[in-house]
Every structure is written in C-alpha cells, then in structure tokens.
Chain A
C-alpha cells in the first residue's frame, strides 16, 4: 500500500503528480545477459543530449573507461571480469596452463585510478578492497554448499571465467528522492512517470545529489547545475525511442510501457532459469522495494553490488513524515513544557 503521503510503496507516479489522463508509465528494461558491451548507448546518449566529454583517462577497470554515472555520462557500461563460471557455457580456460586469477587484483588497481571528471561528486574515489571482492564474485559466507561451481579452483589455476557487462542509467524511481528534495522545482515528474531535471531552473543547491540512493545525479563544477538521464523526454513526446535503446544492437536496452516490460522481464528470467542460468535475477522491478520500483530496471547475472549497485536502495525521503512527525511532536512537547512552565508559575 502506498504511504499516505505517497513517499513509499507502489503507486502510479504520474497520477500522483497530478496528471489527468497520463499516458502509460514508460521505462527501460536492461537485460544484461545479452549486453555485448559495445557502448553504443553511451555514445548515442552523448550525441543526442549533447553531453560533454567526461575525461580521456584509461581507468584499467577492464574496458570501462567511463567509471560511473556522472553529470557528463548519463549511460555507463560496467565491465566485470570474474573468475567464476557462466551457468550455460563450457569453462573458458579449462585445460589451459593458467595460474591463479588476477581479476580481483587488477580491479583493485583500477579502483584507484579515478581522476577529476570536472563534475561533483564525479567518479567515486574507489574502494580497492571492495573492488577486489566484487570482481571475485559473491562472497563465500561459510554456509555448506554455498560455493558456486568452479570457485576456488586454486591449485591447477583458473578454469572458469566470465565477463559481465551492464549498461547502467538513472532508475527513474517511483519515489524519487531527488525530486522530493528539489527546492526550485527543477526536477519534475513527467507525464510518462519519468524524472527530469530542467537545467534552466536548477540553482545548483546539490540537495538531489545526497538524496539519490543510487548515486546517479551529479553536478558540473563549472556551472554547478545537476544533470542526469532524462529518458530522452524530448524524444518520448513525439513517440520516439530514447537514443540509447534505439542504438542498442542486441536489444539489451528495451524501452516501453513499464507494465509490459515487467512481464517480458519475468518471462526472460524464467527462460534463463530453464536454460541453466540460475543466477539470473531482476533488480529494481518490484513496486514493493525501497523506492517503489524503478522506471529503469535490470536483469542481472550476479549480486547488485558486483555491478556497483546498492543491494537494497531505500528512498531517502521515506522516513521524512515520521521524522517531521517526531520533530513536530518534540516541538509541541517543548512548547507545552514551556507553556506549563509559564502557566504553572505562581503569581
């Protein structure tokens, strides 16, 4: 059930924002199991939206030289090299004279290299330890039988290997904290249920940056304004597909009505499970999650943390009413106490 103030739980965001006869909610379903890492989405986005350069740096994070979603990168393809098996495939390096895998170490080196992108907060400073852990796949928690097949091949060297690719983007949350905290109304909810920044109204206060549970929105240092994916609002209005989805050659990025995309995604997960890919799972599809479901959700082949996504995002304004309530209560108590103090004074 949606929260009484519409800050939590499932709802139709366009309706909630006051649109009458709004079109169906539109969104992205990004199926990472067919992503080939071509980065056409990144280029198409930059060309259509005239997004400036985000730095000419070799980051050493596999083929990812973008680093993260920033004010100057509204699509970001993550590349994760992992010494673990792909469910359906023959182990890549079976019978080759390899040593132990190096992916965790190179990821750790790569995590150090982020340089100033001219945006704030820009690329995350990098956590070498976390990067190493993530590229090694999910952690072994000591439970019996939890070791995924092929892990810890150890002595005879690496046999299993997989390369995950995933195109990340603004999630266009059902409950968008960035929008809730925006004091100027620069961030607004469109009739398609998406969240857009109007650059000519943004005053650069930066509240939205700390509000975003995914670390998506970011500001340019030169003008201070916040920028992020608009889900190509200027294309949607005339019935066009967003630039990234249009450019995606393998239909990894699918654009459409969110309800239909959710059905399609559920079917795809079922197919993958049938074909021996038990690790396939959806992320951000559930209207009951901490942000009321994402307008842009994903099919992942590993834990969200491996792709740099928060495992359990919660809209940062969820507890606002309760907080205000408590603050109000505290204020009233204070006032009452003061009143009592005064009233109680003997004449």
Chain B
C-alpha cells in the first residue's frame, strides 16, 4: 500500500502512531513491509490457503462473533442434501459439467427451495462476466429459508463451512504458502482479537488479490472472515478495494464494461432478454427480498435518460435500441478477434494495452491488424507507436511500411485540465474543478464524445434507415461554454441524478423514481447527488467543522450513505453493539432508525418486524435482515448461487505454478476462462510433464515512482529519473543459483516471450519452503515499455491469458518462468529462444493445461492425505 497508494498509506501511519499493529503479506519485502510490525512473505497465488487458514482458526476456536453470525449471516441456513463439497470430490463441488467445464448450481441451493432463480446457464454467465452484476446486489435466491439457529444441523452453512476449511490448518498454510506456523498464528490472533463488540477490523485489498484466475474467490474468503468476525456494516470494518486509478469505482458504477449498464443493470443478452419485461424480470427475480424489486423503475429511468421524449411506454422506452451481448466481448476476446481480423476499429482512452495488459505481444499484434485505431492520451504512448517502435519490428513480425492500422492520436486533457467527478472506493463522489486550460489541441473526454456524437448525428440527420434511429433519437442536449465549446459536466451530473420530466426538478432520492416515464435518471444509485439542484459532490465542509462521519464532504451513493448495510452496526434488537462502535440504531421513542449515518434500512421498520408469508421485495425484509440487497437479507458465508467457481472459496494453484496443489487433486480453477488461440500458449504445470522447464515464480506490481503502464510517469523527468531502468529483483540465493550479478543483466523466458532487465540482488526477496521444496520468486515492475524518457522491456509480455470465470479478470500477478543471466537475444534469435523453450516444455503447438485434473495425471499419487 505504501508502494502503490502512498497517499492513502498516511492513514495507516496515523493508525500506527496510535498504536495499531500493521501486518503485511507480500511475496517481496516492500516499502509497506518496512513500516509493518510483521511481514509475512508468501508464495504468489496462495492467498486463499492463508485466508482459509484464518477461517478455520476462527471456526475451530469458536472465535466468531456468534450473535452477529447467527442473526445477520446465512450461517444457520440449511443447504440441500444434494450438495457435495470439494472434500468429497477431489477439489470439485457438486454439479460440475465436464463438457463445458462449468457448474450446474442446482445442488448448491438452500433446502426447501425448488430451484435457484438463476436463469442463464453458467456457460453464458461466464462468457458475459455475470459475476460483476452482483457487485452491488446479491445473486438471485428466494427469500424464505430453513434455518437452524443452534448451528448444529450438519447441513447448515456454519457446519458446511467448518468441514470445508477443516484441512486449512496452520501446517497446511505453511506447506502451501511458505508462511511459518508461528507467523500465521500471530496474524490470525491479532485479526480475531481486534474484532467483536468493542472493536472492528478493516480489510484492504488491491489488484494483488483480484488479478488471479481465482480472483473473486480471494475477495470472497476475505468477506467470509469479515462476516464471521462481525466486521461488515460497522464503523472501522468492511472490505475496501484500493483502486488502481482515480475513479475506477466510478467506472463500474457508470460502467466502461461490456456487460453492465449504469447502476449495475445488466447489459441485455440477445437470447435471454429479447423483451423489456424479460430483461426486467431477470433483474428483480419475482419472489426475492430486497430493493432490486424495483428494477423496472431503474430500467425505465435509464432508458428515459438515454432517449428522452422518444422513450415511451408504447415502445418499451426504446429498449430495442440497447445493444445486445452475444457472448464474451471482453478486452482479451477483442484482442484475439483483432488478430483474427474480426475487429476493424478500436478506441483507446487513457489505456496503454501494449504495455499494461497481459500478453503484450498479442496486444500489439492485434492492434497492428486493425483498419483504424484512435488513441486519446496525454503522451505518445506505446499503444500509439507500436507500428513503428514495437519489439516485433526487430523480430520482423510487424513491418512499419506494411502495417495496415491507421492510428489517430488525439491529445487528451489531464485531470487538472477538466471538471468532473471522481468516485473512490468508499463510493464517495468528489467534484473536481478545472485548474488550468488544457494545452494546444488537448481536450476532455466529455468534449470528445459530446462532439463526436453531435457530428455523427448531424451526418445522419437525413437518414431514414431504422438502424440510425437509436442515434438520432438520443437525448443529446448539453450546454457548452468557452472557446472550444466544452460541454457542462454539471449538466451530465444532473442527468445522471435524474429529474421530473415535466418540471425538470432534480430528484432527491431514487425512491422518487417512477416506472411510467414521468421521471428520467441516468444512474439510479447516484440519485441525490444533484438534489435540490445543488452539486452535492462539490461539498467541501472541513472535517473539523462536522462530526467524524463527515456527511457533508462530497456525496456517497446510495443516498449519501457512508457505510453500506449499517443496520448491522446495531444488534438484532436495534441497540448499538457497544458504545464505542455506536453508529446506527433504533430509537424506540420516535419509532425510527437513527444514528450518525443515513440508516441503510427502512426508517420506520422496527427490529421486531417479521414479514408475512409469501411477501417479496422490500416488504419481505425482516427487521433483522441488514443485507437489504441480498435475496435473503443475510450476509453470505456460503453463496448458493451467483459465484461461478463454487459456493465457497477453495485453494487452487495458479494456472502456471511449479507446485502440485497440496490440498486437492484438482490443480487449478476448473472453471477458469480459457482462450484457445494459437498465440496464447501456456506453460505446463504439475502434474503435467516438463513443468520444471519453468522453475521460478514471477510476480509483477508497481513502484511508487511510476504509474501503471508508465504513460504518465516515464514521460515526466522528475519521475523518470527516480526509477530509470527496468529491473528484476532476485534473492541472493537465486542469484547464486543462476549466476546473476547485482546490476548485471538477466533475461526471463516464458512460452510467450523473453524479456531482459537489470538485476537487483536484494535481501528483500527470499526463497520459500513449499511442500518440502525450495521455491524461488522474482519480482518485476510492469511500468516499462519502449516509449518515454526511460525505456525497457515490458513485464506483461511474459504473461499468457487466463481469466477468472466470474468477472473475466486476467491472471497477471503470478506466472512461471525461467531466469537466465545476460541480455536476451535479438531479432530472429529471440523468436528461436522462445520456440526452443516451447519445444523443451513438450509442445511446439499451442499448449493448454487440462481444466480438470484427473487421477491418471498424477500417476496414482494420492493427494488426499
């Protein structure tokens, strides 16, 4: 965190000044470790084993916050008899379908519920990254469940969880992660002791957790711990994602993703959602508890915001104009499609995939096979000059004179040169004023898209073709100002907020939205940010002039609520768990919820309320159901549906690993997204043969001195000089083994690429003892590319493409490689070296490890010990 988020780290330091104990788990000793009280070196890609160890520690020692767990989580809920665990199935859950390597989630359901409301088959869910849709709301499940509040029923979630994690012992943690038992126990004790009535603990993660083929399950394991310890919905608790850029949270709320529309409404699928009603019903799931019951209203308002007067009840509010998904349109599929000539044009806005995305060579070859490419950036980045300077020129794979892609480079305004909002990880919107005019031709994204839309609409004005109606009917009226006709960002915020169509009055809360077309709003969860016609995100009342919740600084969605599910900060009877952690509570005199924050509960619903049988939606939420967007109102220790790779997290090895999975026969995530494309070959891993050709684990991350793919830092002198060269960090033990010298050269080889880097031999890297073997890990910064003041080979070139099945995030935090002394070969020799490694690793053609690991593969070794 000190390394990649130094400004946020000031609060860790502030806590440390007050006596907080800081633990840091990382494959390498970083600037964060330097300030931590305990540093735990871990083998990259084994966090579920570590966290699973903590889950077991909590359950075996009964350290869970029992009252919270019984009332607010699904610990007591009974699961059907058909469910079989990984313990019984060699690392697979019940319902696995060999033919398409996905799960039929039917057997994971709660007892007494006929079928999960999940309608789409899991294959389609994986193709469309459907897990993402659950970021703000639970997956579909029926509200009324069978429960055993003594937690003794053998099929209650609590007991299932206990059995599932029974083998994640401190010994197993040591064996899988390379973390000593003593250090593990120090961590587990500190975490559990800092939770309960009087204390809460927060979990902060970043892309070191997400960019794995089991990325979503990493977070799930963290969430399970936080639920068991009662750390959700309470002050000082929660699971917080540190984003990689400003407003990444905003870019999922108002998404730049292929499968989502604003406010976490799913992008319609051509087969599953042919009509508006079918689309709406797939979101609200009739019979389910919670606020998604009003999905129709949110959908109508979005369509009204898009198409204004043209959107009417008669034409289903122009639902037909919405694009439809036909499958996987994610960034990696697009790149492979470019290589295959199926994609003709591409917009890149503030993104540098030639350096920043996994498998850099595939990215560059894809972009070299387009008709046109538009790059909007602050500097001339690698993704704009690949046709001229890419490493593939040297190898003859791209010939500048013949490269067919026409590149349009448009200079972009930086964040200080345009107005707008940032949404950070707490869902807080903070308005940003323009400080200076952008130089020369540089313009904001808002300017670019507004005028692009305006010009296209002008060109099409006389068109009579039906396919142009969606563009021509758009509501595209934003006031502009200044010499360059910059659109007003506040007018966009107003539209996002929503308004009464007749009067234009801005809405104050999403409950004011109507499903009859009389209101319009671009993102229902943001409604209220422009309440009373005031830009609430621009509020800057000092924290010294208000209470510690600071509700008048910026604006948090939804409804300016700073902590979600804060009903859980009070006990089932509505009283605060403790005076120290008082936050939101039931006031019996006024008969309403009150507190420091906006209660995340119906204001007048008493804690004792129990819904009548057969009710659904908000009315079905009981007075002690704090997780109001979940189908059963409870926090999910066990996910009966919605998570595509299992109802509970399980340790699988990374797709490329030098180690056989010590826990199960199944080696890697069986449901991971695999791209079988000739360019995307993968290194073999045990139990396959030849995995020893790539004996070392490599991991990549950031340096404080640079930003992501380097476009904003390698181009800036005072930053470039602070980390002026690509380097690889190795332990003294590996340096001795391979023959590397401090400040000498080394090159790293995978089946995709070979890159070179200067060597930093440092005590900050350590070998680990894993399952009786010594495992060496190396670390690389991923900032370097071939443009800018300082250049170097790109670490991301080493990776292949393997994705998590839930959200299609790539596994770009761990892989295997070989490390050799000296510089890499050039030209054709470089290609020959990589080909030679492919030959030695067993296969000259594209190689894909099997998704399901079979007994035969292990030659009869029994892993289930």
Contacts and interface: CB of A to CB of B under 8 A. Distances in A.
Interface of A: 34, 36-40, 42-43, 46-47, 53-58, 60, 62-63, 65-66, 81, 83, 88-90, 92-103, 105-106, 109-110, 113, 158, 161-165, 249-251
A103 B735 CA distance: 13
B120 interface: no
Given A43-B719, A63-B31, A249-B10, 16 more contacts: A34-B16, A34-B17, A36-B6, A37-B2, A46-B718, A56-B721, A60-B760, A63-B703, A94-B182, A96-B766, A98-B763, A109-B742, A158-B763, A162-B34, A163-B29, A165-B31
A226 to B, nearest CB: 21
Interface string B755-774: 00010111110111100001
B183 A94 contact: yes
Interface in B133-186: 178, 180, 182-183, 186
Given A34-B13, A97-B774, A110-B742, A65 B722 contact: yes
Contacts of A93: 41, 763, 766
A56 B789 contact: yes
18 contacts: A36-B6, A38-B704, A57-B724, A60-B760, A63-B31, A65-B722, A89-B38, A90-B38, A92-B41, A94-B180, A100-B732, A102-B732, A110-B742, A161-B29, A161-B764, A163-B34, A249-B6, A250-B13
B107 to A, nearest CB: 41
Given A98-B731, A113-B743, A43 B718 contact: yes
B35 A106 contact: no
Contacts of B2: 36-38
Contact of B742 (A37, A105, A163): A105
A161 B764 CA distance: 8
- Binding site secondary structure of chain A: loop
Interface centre among A40, A65, A106, A113 (most CB of B within 10 A): A106
Contacts of A65: 721-724
Contacts of A162: 34
A118 to B, nearest CB: 12
B778 to A, nearest CB: 15
A106 B34 contact: no
Given A94-B180, A97-B769, A163 B7 contact: no
Given A53-B717, A58-B727, A163 B764 contact: yes
B720 interface: yes
Contact of A103 (B180, B741, B762): B762
Contacts of A94: 180, 182-183
A302 to B, nearest CB: 13
Contacts of A251: 10, 13
B124 to A, nearest CB: 45
B415 to A, nearest CB: 16
A37 B721 CA distance: 15
A54 B721 contact: yes
A40 B362 CA distance: 35
Nearest to A163: B34
Contacts of B121: none
Interface centre among B186, B720, B733 (most CB of A within 10 A): B733
Contact of A90 (B13, B39, B732, B774): B39
B37 A42 contact: no
- Binding site secondary structure of chain B: mixed
B7 A66 contact: no
A88 B29 CA distance: 17
B310 interface: no
Interface centre among B35, B183, B774 (most CB of A within 10 A): B35
A66 B13 CA distance: 25
B406 interface: no
A60 B744 CA distance: 10
Contacts of A90: 37-39, 183, 186
A59 to B, nearest CB: 9
B697 interface: no
A163 B741 CA distance: 21
Contacts of A43: 718-719, 722
Nearest to B773: A97
Interface string B58-69: 000000000000
A40 B5 CA distance: 12
Contacts of A165: 31, 34
B790 interface: yes
B623 to A, nearest CB: 44
Contact of A58 (B9, B719, B758, B762): B758
Nearest to B181: A95
A88 B34 CA distance: 11
A136 B674 CA distance: 48
A106 B742 contact: yes
Nearest to A72: B721
A74 to B, nearest CB: 12
Given A40-B6, A96-B768, A251-B10, A89 B742 contact: no
Given A65-B723, A94-B183, A102-B763, A250 B10 contact: yes
Contact of B31 (A38, A55, A96, A101): A38
A33 to B, nearest CB: 9
Given A36-B34, A58-B725, A106-B742, A99 B736 contact: yes
